[in-house]
């Protein structure tokens, strides 16, 4: 039998490795930014076009590379960080993998320009699909510039799996935020399609957060500081009243590296227990510093998940540190929150000796003797009644005799009852047509049995079709607000809301002005409470960024789904009889009452025969 095992060619091996390193343009951004930081740069520029599909370029003023290093950097398993296996467990740098540039060069057109400080000229290398096209000497500033063009040009199937520009840009910005938040001592700038999106100067950690998420963020932050032998914690958590429906502003950094940890996230949720509304999530920006020997960052290809030696200790320290900060800054309630200073001991008497009180008793006191004296005085001052008092009761006796006869003949008037024109022997009592079960389901009787309706999903379907109709015919009723409502968002969220402005106005929203971080609203759709507007827009922005449910749907469909999800009555909400009946009638007036906008069942039927079978022994 012929041999069937063979070694893969280098270009195929590089493409397979690229599948682990590069999933989307944001992966390229992460690798290039980390390399720039490891090069010692203090100014880094990120330039992208078409959400990174056409161009991702990172320019830094780091130490640069020599001619030999520039060429070797694109070879597989080439790295300057690791010399032996023990180095993997004491890493303080980021781009140590040794496959990032090789993997990127295998699926894109790469142009590298680099120069060291002491060199007069630099090196320029052009690679297309792992093939070196040219290597020349060029005049370039000190540092490195890496331009990645036409990502996945030789793997069209991978390119087809990329999402829309809005979604891919969101992922790029997320990676940019993660790197920028971890290094406030470095100046970062982001340019998207020729326009400046972010310009973050060197600052402290709090100011870096404010520069990214807007000036309104400053008042939401509560500092967290804790230093122990095992763990050092620094950073900020958000106040409970500013908690959001989404998990967007949650950042963990371990040794200046962004990570995701559901276990540590649970520690923070536990610290906020009892302070957050149901369905909301606290924001946090926390830096954890631990001994590199106690963590393993090689358990995940993207290095966003790490393994701790003693997770239980970290959990307890993180939870107690956040609880301490919330209590220290009067965020969490304490026992003595209503202390009255007027009840404190005066300063002059704090050290004085206490003395026993003296009690004086009058042993000759007789309470009965005093009662007899007061009774004698009352008799002495008693006045005779006026003689004319009898005139007040003249004639009452005769009226009283007639009153008995009158009360025995009292009759109550009542309206004449007439038969209803809708009277029918088979008429069902309408007060018992619906019943709410556990504030979640609505039970409705039908001829063949009964309906069990999920009130949340049913209301979603009703609202979805109403909003979609308004967006289609561009006619919606708006209720004007007495005072304009000003909402605060991050600059990138404002851009998304501005893009959706026309569609939102067709649903009933009225916008008066847009600014860098605020939006003024003067009208909202009928039935939408003013307190829910910010929640609706936050959820809408989140859905658009993540393209829920799919990129194949239109913007109007996505908007209608998002608003229906935000405004639908929730599970656990009690409904009156007329509200239940209205919900049932509206549901079956929909075009597709069987499923919710997310294709989930809205109701089930149970026939009498099915019920009878339950009672068969």
What domains can you pick out in the chain, each with its CATH number?
10-200 (3.30.565.10), 212-328 (3.30.230.10), 434-605 (3.30.1370.100)
Per the model's pLDDT, the better-predicted residue between 57 and 88 turns out to be: 57
Confidence of residue 141 (pLDDT cuts 50, 70, 90): very high
- Amino acid 94: pLDDT: 65
Report whether pLDDT(142) > 70: yes
Give the least confident one: 72-76, 313-317, 395-399.
395-399
Q: Do residues 509 and 480 touch, judged by C-beta distance below 8 A?
A: no
Residue 137, helix vs strand vs coil: strand
The one-character DSSP state at 595 is B
List the Cα angle 536/258/178 in 5-degree steps: 55
- Amino acid 306: pLDDT: 80
Question: What average pLDDT score do residues 234-242 get?
Answer: 91
Side-by-side strand order, sheet with 143-149: 131-138, 122-128, 109-115, 143-149, 55-60, 43-49, 187-192, 195-200
pLDDT tens, residue by residue, 213-230: 888 888 889 999 999 888
Query: What is d(CA 575, CA 272) in angstroms, rounded to the nearest whole number?
Result: 31
Report whether pLDDT(504) > 90: no
Pairing of strands 43-49, 187-192: parallel
pLDDT tens, residue by residue, 418-462: 544 444 444 444 445 788 888 899 998 888 888 899 999 999 999
Q: Do residues 189 and 40 touch, judged by C-beta distance below 8 A?
A: no
Per the model's pLDDT, the better-predicted residue between 98 and 168 turns out to be: 168
Cα–chain center distance at 379? 82
Report whether pLDDT(415) > 60: no
Q: Which of 130, 104, 117, 152 is nearest to 41 (CA)?
A: 117
Question: What average pLDDT score do residues 368-376 get?
Answer: 63
- Amino acid 502: pLDDT: 83
**Percent of the chain at pLDDT exceeding 90:** 26
The structure tokens listed for 433 are 């047509």
Query: What is d(CA 258, CA 46) in angstroms, rounded to the nearest whole number?
Result: 19
| Cis before 549? omega within 30 | yes
- Amino acid 530: pLDDT: 82
Mean pLDDT rounded to a whole number for the chain: 80
Question: What average pLDDT score do residues 149-157 get?
Answer: 87
Report whether pLDDT(55) > 90: yes
- Amino acid 46: pLDDT: 95
pLDDT tens, residue by residue, 463-500: 988 888 877 776 777 888 888 888 888 887 888 888 88
Confidence of residue 33 (pLDDT cuts 50, 70, 90): very high
């Amino acid at each position: 039998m012929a041999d069937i095992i063979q070694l893969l060619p280098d270009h195929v091996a590089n493409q397979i490795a690229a599948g682990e390193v590069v999933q989307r343009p944001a992966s390229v951004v992460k690798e290039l930014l980390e390399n720039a930081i490891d090069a010692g740069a203090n100014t880094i520029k990120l330039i992208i076009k078409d959400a990174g599909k056409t161009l991702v370029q990172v320019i830094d003023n780091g130490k640069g590379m020599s001619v030999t290093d520039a060429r070797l950097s694109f070879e597989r398993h080439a790295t300057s960080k690791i010399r032996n296996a023990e180095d993997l467990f004491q890493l303080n740098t980021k781009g140590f993998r040794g496959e990032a540039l090789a993997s990127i060069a295998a699926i894109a057109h790469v142009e590298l320009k680099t120069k060291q400080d002491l060199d007069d000229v630099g090196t320029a290398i052009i690679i297309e699909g792992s093939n070196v096209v040219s290597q020349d000497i060029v005049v370039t500033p000190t540092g490195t510039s890496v331009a990645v063009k036409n990502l996945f040009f030789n793997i069209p199937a991978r390119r087809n799996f990329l999402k829309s520009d809005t979604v891919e840009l969101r992922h790029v910005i997320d990676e940019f935020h993660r790197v920028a938040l971890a290094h406030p001592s470095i100046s970062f700038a982001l340019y998207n399609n020729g326009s400046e999106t972010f310009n973050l100067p060197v600052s402290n950690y709090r100011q870096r957060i404010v520069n990214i998420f807007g000036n309104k963020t400053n008042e939401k932050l509560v500092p967290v500081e804790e230093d122990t032998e095992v763990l050092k914690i620094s950073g900020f958590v958000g106040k409970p009243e500013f908690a959001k429906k989404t998990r967007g502003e949650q950042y963990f950094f371990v040794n200046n590296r962004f990570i995701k940890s559901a276990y540590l996230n649970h520690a923070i949720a536990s610290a906020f227990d009892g302070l957050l509304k149901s369905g909301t999530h606290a924001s946090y920006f926390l830096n954890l510093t631990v001994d590199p020997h106690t963590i393993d960052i090689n358990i995940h290809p993207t290095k966003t998940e790490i393994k701790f030696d003693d997770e239980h200790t970290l959990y307890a320290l993180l939870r107690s540190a956040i609880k301490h900060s919330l209590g220290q800054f009067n965020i969490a309630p304490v026992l003595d929150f209503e202390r009255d200073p007027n009840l404190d001991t005066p300063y002059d008497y704090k050290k004085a000796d206490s003395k026993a009180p003296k009690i004086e008793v009058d042993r000759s006191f007789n309470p009965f003797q005093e009662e007899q004296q007061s009774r004698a005085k009352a008799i002495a001052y008693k006045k005779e009644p006026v003689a004319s008092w009898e005139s007040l009761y003249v004639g009452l006796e005769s009226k009283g005799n007639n009153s008995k006869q009158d009360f025995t003949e009292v009759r109550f008037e009542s309206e004449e009852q007439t038969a209803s024109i809708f009277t029918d022997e088979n008429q069902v009592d309408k007060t018992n047509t619906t019943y709410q079960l556990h504030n979640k389901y609505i039970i409705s009787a039908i001829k063949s049995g009964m309906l069990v309706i999920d009130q949340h999903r049913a209301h979603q379907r009703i609202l979805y079709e109403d909003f979609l109709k308004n967006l289609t015919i561009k006619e919606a009723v708006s209720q004007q607000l007495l005072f304009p409502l000003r909402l605060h968002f991050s600059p990138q969220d404002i851009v998304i809301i501005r893009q959706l402005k026309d569609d939102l106005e067709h649903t009933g929203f009225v916008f008066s002005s847009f600014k860098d971080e605020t939006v003024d609203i003067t009208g909202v759709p009928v039935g939408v409470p003013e307190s829910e507007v910010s929640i609706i827009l936050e959820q809408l922005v989140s859905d658009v960024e993540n393209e829920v449910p799919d990129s194949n749907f239109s913007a109007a469909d996505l908007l209608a789904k998002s608003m229906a999800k935000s405004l639908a009555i929730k599970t656990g909400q009690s409904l009156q009889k007329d509200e239940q009946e209205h919900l049932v009638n509206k549901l079956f007036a929909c075009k597709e009452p069987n499923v919710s906008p997310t294709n989930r069942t809205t109701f089930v039927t149970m026939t009498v025969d099915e019920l009878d079978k339950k009672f068969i022994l």
